[in-house]
Structure 1
Amino acid sequence: MTHHEHKTITVLKETILPGESKTINMEIAKLHTMTKLKIPIIVERSKFHGPTVLLTAGLHGDEINGIEIVRQLIVQKINKPKIGTIICIPVINVFGFLNQTREFPDKRDLNRVFPGSKSGSLASQFAHSILTEIIPLVDFAIDFHAGGASRFNAPQIRIVPDNSELKALADVFNAPFGLFSKNIHGTFRNSCDKLGVKMLLFEGGKSIDISKSITHEGIEGTKRILNHFGMLNSRKKITIPEHKTLYIEKSGWIRAKYSGMFHGLTKIGSFVEKGQILATISDPYGKIEHKLKAPNSGYIINVNDAPIVYQGDAIYHISNATGDE
């Protein structure tokens, strides 16, 4: 891994020397109330030379579980590195976090406007600042996300297919599941990749929610990565899970065939057999109860937590089991 040979690191014209800790506020814009909106960037540098790791969350403002993971990494002082530098941005989309919404205030999905531009939409300008101010300093990043709406994701790392370096890092993180997904145009991950920054994308939990088990998986995986780079504070210990990451090559959504009240019977992360009853969908009047069955054997990596579903709603994400399981 090539470390950036910076004796000093400068973020938004503020210099952080080896051994220094600094919180730098990135001002993006004023609200319509003229309140300034600042995004705290928390930089911790060791006295000793090493890689620069970026930990980010809240790209979607309602994905609070990711924000909680980065907050805990700071509270537990895991972000104080033995060597190198750790940069934490717990909430990238402060606007969305403020309003408990996924989007930016200009109604754009921030994760579709990268690399952005100096003179584009507000979201676009902001994406541009992050890529020009922070990413050039970084060797490696972990971006924390959660499932959209009320769909709960099993803890998983997403990486592009056929990239042995990223696959090796995903192995080190050792989340319960690993998914191969191509870079989507306009995403933070895609832009980082183009700029030579290796990124692991962590998915877990659902929006407007904090799950202790998801937070635990995110923290422990991050500690294993930092330890791998020789950056983990000596007082912190890593745990090695009994199971190695289960990589899923192919997966698909199971959609509701009917609208109605949803009664889920299937635990997140569990293995189900083809034909197994996953849930029932009923009318409110006690007349009808439809059984929803697994179309194939596989692992359930996302479950719906909403009490009401509409016909066509994605309610379970299932891996397509292969013969070698």
Structure 2
Amino acid sequence: MKRMPVEIAGKTVAPGESATVVLPVPDTSLRQGAGMPVHVFHGRREGPALFITAAIHGDEMNGIEIVRRLVGMKRLQRLSGTLYAVPVVNIYGFIANARYLPDRRDLNRFFPGKAGGSLASELAKVLFENVVAPCQFGVDLHTGSNHRTNLPHLRGNMDDEVVLGMAEAYGAPLALNVAGAEGSLRYSAEECGVKTLLYEAGEALRFDELSIRAGVRGLTSLMEHLGMLTPRKTARRKKVPMQIAHDRTWCRAPASGVFKAGAKLGQRVRKGEILGTIYDPFSNQSYALESPKNGVVIGVQSLPSVYKGDAVTHIACFEALAKAEASVDQFSELMMEETPIS
């Protein structure tokens, strides 16, 4: 049976073709026009539809570079199924180097969106109807926020066997078994039956090469798992065992001051262990930040100045703590040794 073309925003993409389609979104305040570019690859052969989104928060740069590298691959010319890749969802925040929309709304709390609502609702509706709804699978790319750096890890419903298989194929060392927040892209996609992963890595407004390479590697591995790309015959891709966290917690500053971190990303910590020290900048007084649980550090604040109650260090908890730390170490070594994928 002949494969049918796909339509998006009034444009038709035939089997074996690719196109960049600009979705219409509300103008900027200067009325100079605006659009959300989507790379569409429609394979000649039947297969699933996968969406990849980046920069739902406008200051998250790693995902933009991951998408750029992915869509430049010659392998996509032999794609089975359909790929929708959006390098910048929140174009307004991206222009302003800002996480949120101009009205300070978090776009990732307004899915699936609605017509006639706020700018966030309008933008969410355009993306959801044109990119998310036609798919069976999805990956949403993120980084840490507000001067925080995240260790590369996945988030998703790991109790779902399909999502768990996607996560294991992606190849990140750690995963959090957590539900998406209501109104988030992942939550809304899953409500519509679209199996979705969230990839967290690096920090806002910065490129992190390891996080980017791991992201590209993960997406191509996932597409092989879904039957969209043919696995490479030359060499079997190495992977590390993925460890799933059963709990997580933020360690909050016990006092305001200047924070000097002691624990590093990927480090195993014990309950009561000192993760860093907060100093009074005008005296010798200091306050220790203690880990409330056993776990592995998956997020740290990079900005020294803190207020009491600030989320400073993110801890993920595992049944096999030593295995989790080992997976992180093996993953870092693998990414440093491996030639970037093309």
TM-score in same-fold range (> 0.5): yes
- The answer for the alignment partner of 1:204 in structure 2 is 201
Find the residue that maps to 1:32 and give its secondary structure.
coil
Q: Which amino acid aligns with 2:164?
A: K
Structure 1 residues 126 and 6: alpha-carbon distance in aligned structure 2, compared to 1, 3 A threshold: farther
Question: Residue 178 of structure 1: CA displacement?
Answer: 0.3
CA–CA distance in 2 between the matches of 1:217 and 1:108? 30
Q: Deviations over 1:111-162 (max 9, x none)?
A: 1111211111121112112222222321211110111101111111111252
Find the residue that maps to 2:45 and give its secondary structure.
coil
CA–CA distance in 1 between the matches of 2:321 and 2:310? 30
- The answer for the alignment partner of 1:267 in structure 2 is 264
Q: Deviations over 1:1-22 (max 9, x none)?
A: xxxx961100001000001110
Q: Which amino acid aligns with 1:114?
A: F
- The answer for the alignment partner of 1:38 in structure 2 is 35
TM-score by length of 1: 0.92
- The answer for the alignment partner of 1:125 in structure 2 is 122
Q: Are the equivalent residues in 2 in contact too, given 1:300–1:316 (CA < 8 A)? A: yes
Q: Are the equivalent residues in 1 in contact too, given 2:246–2:318 (CA < 8 A)? A: no
Q: Which amino acid aligns with 1:46?
A: G
Question: Residue 82 of structure 1: CA displacement?
Answer: 2.7
CA–CA distance in 2 between the matches of 1:233 and 1:36? 40
Matching residue within 52, 63, 68 for 1:71: 68
The number of residue pairs the alignment matches comes to 320
What is the correspondence of 1:103-118 to structure 2 with a 5 Å cutoff?
Answer: 103-118=100-115
Question: Residue 238 of structure 1: CA displacement?
Answer: 6.5
Structure 1 residues 135 and 319: alpha-carbon distance in aligned structure 2, compared to 1, 3 A threshold: closer
Unmatched 5+ stretches in structure 2: 323-342
Structure 1 residues 9 and 238: alpha-carbon distance in aligned structure 2, compared to 1, 3 A threshold: farther
What is the correspondence of 1:283-302 to structure 2 with a 5 Å cutoff?
Answer: 283-285=280-282, 287-302=284-299
Find the residue that maps to 2:143 and give its secondary structure.
strand
Find the residue that maps to 2:80 and give its secondary structure.
coil
Question: Residue 107 of structure 1: CA displacement?
Answer: 2.4
| 2:21 aligned with 1:10 | no
Q: Which amino acid aligns with 1:70?
A: V
- The answer for the alignment partner of 1:141 in structure 2 is 138
Q: Are the equivalent residues in 1 in contact too, given 2:16–2:77 (CA < 8 A)? A: no
Structure 1 residues 114 and 257: alpha-carbon distance in aligned structure 2, compared to 1, 3 A threshold: same
Structure 1 residues 257 and 313: alpha-carbon distance in aligned structure 2, compared to 1, 3 A threshold: same
Unmatched 5+ stretches in structure 1: none
CA–CA distance in 1 between the matches of 2:36 and 2:190? 23
CA–CA distance in 2 between the matches of 1:61 and 1:144? 12
Find the residue that maps to 1:185 and give its secondary structure.
coil
Question: Residue 83 of structure 1: CA displacement?
Answer: 1.2
TM-score by length of 2: 0.88
CA–CA distance in 2 between the matches of 1:89 and 1:155? 20
What is the percent sequence identity of the aligned residues? 34
Between Structure 1 and Structure 2, the one with more helix by share is 2
- The answer for the alignment partner of 1:155 in structure 2 is 152
